[in-house]
């Protein structure tokens, strides 16, 4: 079941540093459908999967086409930028026709991921984004839990929701470039979220040909 087109957010995130929570409508609707129906495969109904020859080496980034499902190992451009990431193992990525941003879906379980490109974002601004509660649709909310885990180029944060767990990783690039990856799902399916986010962060390129830069 695909989300109603009227609920698709048309804004992009790269023009301003703020973490625009109002624009998580599409992925959250998709996730709520999954939780309600308990049928992960329904999200992919009607989408054309990328065939084996379409899977490119990780040094070549593809523009994300709507209605196409991209498998693990595919390097994709973050829309509106020259930045890119690699779809993690056991995950897929797809973008709906009326959505600017793609989302990530676990091949097994009910994990769902989304991304928020940032521009002119200082480390302090990113800290502020990650310290805020996330209030989403259908009463779904996430509260920051525990301390942030910070490195030279990333900041990670855990969240707790009503029967769900969230994990966020902000990857910082040069010149104020950055992207926040956010993954959520039921507690029983979140044991690998940290490693998924780590792979996303490690694969992120902010300039062509230079990983994590």
User: What SS3 class is residue 204?
Assistant: coil
Q: What is the pLDDT of residue 130?
A: 96
The encoded tokens of residue 158 equal 């855990």
Bridge partners, 91 (sequence order): 106
Among 126, 121, 158, CA closest to 142: 158
Domain ranges within the chain, ordered by starting residue? 14-211
Question: Are 97 and 88 spatial neighbours (Cβ–Cβ below 8 Å)?
Answer: no
User: What SS3 class is residue 32?
Assistant: helix
In 10 A of CB 57, how many CB atoms? 8
Question: Are 20 and 116 spatial neighbours (Cβ–Cβ below 8 Å)?
Answer: yes
Using DSSP bridges, classify how beta strands 154-161 and 165-172 pair: parallel, antiparallel or unpaired.
Answer: antiparallel
Q: What is the pLDDT of residue 26?
A: 39
Tens digit of pLDDT at every position of the chain (213 positions): 333 332 233 333 333 333 444 344 434 444 443 443 333 333 333 333 444 344 444 578 999 999 999 999 999 998 888 899 999 999 999 998 888 899 999 998 889 999 999 999 899 999 999 999 988 767 788 999 989 999 999 999 999 998 899 999 999 999 999 999 999 999 988 889 999 999 999 999 997 644 445
List, in sequence order, every beta strand (DSSP E) within 14-102: 48-49, 68-70, 75-77, 84-86, 91-94
Q: What is the pLDDT of residue 58?
A: 58
Among 74, 23, 60, CA closest to 182: 23
**DSSP secondary-structure letter at 108?**
S
Q: What is the pLDDT of residue 134?
A: 84
Query: Count of alpha carbons within 13 Å of 50, Cβ hemisphere only?
Result: 24
The sign of the CA dihedral 118, 122, 123, 125 is negative
**DSSP secondary-structure letter at 43?**
G
Q: 14-211, which class in CATH?
A: alpha beta
In 10 A of CB 86, how many CB atoms? 22
């Amino acid at each position: 079941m695909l989300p109603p087109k009227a609920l698709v957010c048309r804004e992009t995130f790269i023009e301003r540093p703020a973490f625009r929570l109002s624009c998580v409508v599409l992925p959250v609707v998709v996730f709520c459908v999954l939780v309600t129906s308990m049928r992960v495969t329904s999200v992919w109904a009607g989408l054309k999967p990328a065939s084996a020859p379409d899977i490119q080496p990780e040094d070549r980034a593809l523009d994300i086409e709507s209605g196409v499902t991209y498998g693990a190992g595919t390097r994709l451009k973050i829309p509106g930028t020259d930045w890119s990431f690699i779809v993690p193992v056991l995950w897929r990525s797809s973008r709906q026709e009326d959505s600017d941003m793609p989302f990530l879906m676990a091949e097994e379980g009910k994990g769902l991921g989304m991304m928020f490109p940032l521009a002119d974002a200082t480390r302090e601004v990113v800290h502020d984004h990650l310290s805020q509660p996330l209030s989403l649709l259908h009463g779904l909310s996430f509260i920051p839990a525990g301390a942030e885990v910070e490195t030279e180029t990333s900041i990670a944060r855990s969240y707790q929701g009503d029967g769900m767990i969230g994990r966020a990783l902000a990857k910082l690039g040069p010149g104020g470039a950055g992207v926040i990856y956010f993954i959520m799902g039921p507690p029983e399916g979140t044991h690998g979220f940290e490693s998924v986010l780590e792979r996303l962060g490690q694969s992120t390129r902010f300039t062509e040909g230079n990983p994590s830069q």
